[in-house]
Amino acid sequence: MSEKKYFKGKVFIVTGASSGIGKAVAVEAAKKGADVVIAARNIERLNEVENVIKGFGVDALAVQTDVSKKEDAENLINKTIEKFGKIDVLVNNAGVSMRAMFDDLQIDVFEKVMNINFMGAVYCTRYAIPHILKQKGSIVGVSSVSGFTPLPARTAYCASKYAMFGFLTTLRLENIMRGLHVMITHPGFTESNIRKHALLADGSEQGKTPRHEDKMMTAEEVAIKIIKGIRKRKRVQIMTLMGKTSWILEKIWPKLTHKLLYKGIAKEPNTPLPKWKFRK
């Protein structure tokens, strides 16, 4: 069965869909014939994405949502059921990054990252899962290479992605006899606004990316892989050679992996990492 036949008539929910990977996944799902509910805090940008989606001849619904709020997550699911009567796929994509040493980081910034990246996925999944189970559908967590390897100056971000991995893999196991598909996808560095909006130690936004965005995967490339992964009902999806290498090295040679990660991040402009030699 082709992807268009497989996805035709299915109902997607995509969080963090006003830009970046979320927007690209929503558009790619629409191209395959799915109806799409898009969620984010910025309703103006969501409405623009909604119009793009409808241009593919499918239906769409934009729901202003702050996934870190339980009532917003519940409203998102309720609005979807009111309009479409079912949910086939939930893509937990909403997220925020950060960049600071942990001992400089305000604790409320750590909490904000966890609440959006992790608890947002928990809330949306909890309210959606009864409906997804009826369809034997899919729950997707958009994680990161930082979901299985540490990344210095990103403690809260890594913690949120590690937590997502534990949550979703356990959810998969709990529902192994109920036909639920759970996929955790780990893109590599992707061209998006996430680094521009990354939170610094005091909670202000970084404003400028420290990396070369033009050398990264595009959001559209990531979205195509995510849609293919949902179609094939993959469990774990690691998208780049760097990611796959990190996955292996973290298991068999973590000391070397951590040294390389530290050195790489220490080369970023305005890095918060101390400039001392890597210690054994």
Convert the pLDDT of each residue in 153-197 to its tens digit.
999 999 999 999 999 999 999 999 999 999 999 987 766 666 567
What is 191-238 written as a DSSP string?
SSSTTTT-B-TTS-B--S-SS-GGGSBPHHHHHHHHHHHHHTT-SEEE
What are the beta bridge partners of residue 167? none
Distance spanning both ends of the chain, measured CA to CA? 53
Q: What is the dihedral of CA 20, 23, 24, 29, to 10 degrees?
A: 160
Residue 274 reports pLDDT greater than 90: no
Residue 245's contacts (CB-CB under 8 Å, 6 or more residues apart) are none
Q: 136: how many CB neighbours lie within 10 A of its CB? A: 13
Is pLDDT at 30 greater than 70 in this prediction? yes
Task: With H, G, I as helix, E, B as strand and everything else as coil, classify residue 68.
Answer: coil
Q: Give me the mean pLDDT over the 10-36 stretch.
A: 97
**Residue 189 pLDDT:** 73
- What integer pLDDT is reported at residue 208 of this predicted model? 64
4: pLDDT confidence band, cut at 50, 70 and 90? confident
Q: Quick count: other Cβ atoms within 10 Å of Cβ 132? A: 25
Domains, the chain, in order of start with CATH, read: 3-240 (3.40.50.720)
* pLDDT score of 215: 65
Residue 61 has pLDDT above 80, yes or no: yes
pLDDT of 63 above 80: yes
Supply the mean pLDDT for the chain: 91
- Label residue 270 by pLDDT band (50, 70, 90): confident
Q: What number is the average pLDDT over the span 198-209?
A: 81
What average pLDDT does this structure show over 130-149?
A: 95
pLDDT tens readout for residues 64-120: 999 999 999 999 999 999 999 999 999 999 999 999 999 999 999 999 999 999 999
Give the three-state DSSP class for 15: strand
Average of pLDDT values for 1-15? 91
Which residue of the set 127, 157, 162, 262 is catalytic?
157
More confident residue, 72 or 203: 72
**CB contact at 8 A, 268 and 152:** no
Tell how far CA 10 is from the center of its chain: 20
pLDDT in tens, 210-220: 555 566 789 99
| Strand partners of residue 63 | 39
pLDDT in tens, 211-244: 555 667 899 999 999 999 999 999 999 988 888 8
Whole-number pLDDT of residue 279: 54
**Contact residues for 164 (Cβ-Cβ < 8 A; gap 6+):** 92, 117, 118, 121, 141, 143, 147, 184
Asked about 157 being catalytic, the answer comes back as: yes
Structure tokens at 224: 């195509």
Percent of the chain with pLDDT over 70: 91
Pair of tokens at residue 210: 């420290």
Nearest 5°: phi and psi at 100? -170, 155
Number of C-alpha atoms within 13 angstroms, CB side, residue 32? Answer: 25
Predicted TM-score (pTM) of the model is 0.91
Angle at 79 between CA 227 and CA 46, to 5 degrees: 60
